[in-house]
Amino acid sequence: MALSRKAWIAAGIGARLLMIAALAVSVPLTVHNHTKRDYGSDDFYKLQSYSYVIRSIEQGAPPAVLYAVAVAVIAMAAGVLQIPVSVYLLCMSKRVTPSALILDISLCADVVVTVLLASGVGAGFGATNDALRYVHHVRWDDAGVKDDLVDYYNKATVPVVFLLLGTVLSMAATVVSARLRARATDDHTDF
């Protein structure tokens, strides 16, 4: 049985809402991940590819919002901006043929968001894996430091998993956008 245009649009809205929820979980988990010990003011242990340096805010410097957090925030903003368009298309699908320009913009935005999220996932898992490998292969004078850093880097994979979930949901939204765009240019009414 072929899915109607309304079903595809509703699926896109659902994928975008779930993506926003997954990314909304990822950001605070990344921001609030800290070690149990204080290693001084330089925070050398922080994963700079996806961490948020709180001390820079406390010292008055601009916040260092880095790659994966920035990507998650950009993707959430893009999803929030696309939801009203999807709701409009859902409400007007019987009365008005959707504009190809709107669908082109939606498709391009979905592709860009998916690529950004995928690169954020790669940066997050890559940095965590490299840091853990370093911690495991260096001789530590204090085993407590090693255990603290291993715990920190293991907790750092959790937000990246939510970022990965957001990437998969963004891919689903991209598929929906591509199907709607293809259907808008096709003269046939069946899928």
> Among 57-61, 78-82, 86-90, whose mean pLDDT is lowest?
57-61
pLDDT at 62 over 70: no
Phi/psi of residue 165, nearest 5 degrees? -60, -40
Residue 64 lies in a domain: yes
Give me the mean pLDDT over the 123-127 stretch. Answer: 81
Residue 191 lies in a domain: no
Q: Which residue has the higher pLDDT, 67 or 176?
A: 176
Q: Which residue has the higher pLDDT, 33 or 135?
A: 135
pLDDT of residue 171: 95
Residue 37 lies in a domain: yes
Asked if 30 and 52 count as a contact pair (C-beta separation under 8 A), the reply is yes
Residue 29 lies in a domain: yes
Give me the mean pLDDT over the 150-160 stretch. Answer: 85
> What are the tokens at 26?
């990822």
> Among 73-82, 97-106, 114-123, whose mean pLDDT is lowest?
97-106
Beta strands in the chain (DSSP E): 52-53, 64-65
> Among 46-55, 128-137, 168-177, whose mean pLDDT is lowest?
46-55
pLDDT at 60 over 50: no
Encode pLDDT of 6-38 as tens digits: 888 889 999 999 999 999 998 888 777 777 777
User: Domain residues for 150?
Assistant: 5-185
d(CA 164, CA 25): 12
Residue 9 lies in a domain: yes
Supply the pTM of this predicted model: 0.79
Asked if 67 and 50 count as a contact pair (C-beta separation under 8 A), the reply is yes
Q: Looking at the 3D structure of the chain, how many domains does it have?
A: 1
Residue 190 lies in a domain: no
DSSP for 2-24, written as a single string: PPPHHHHHHHHHHHHHHHHHHHH
For the chain, the straight-line distance linking the first and the last C-alpha, in angstroms and rounded, comes to 9
Crossing angle between the packed helical segments 143-185 and 5-31, to the nearest 10 degrees? 160
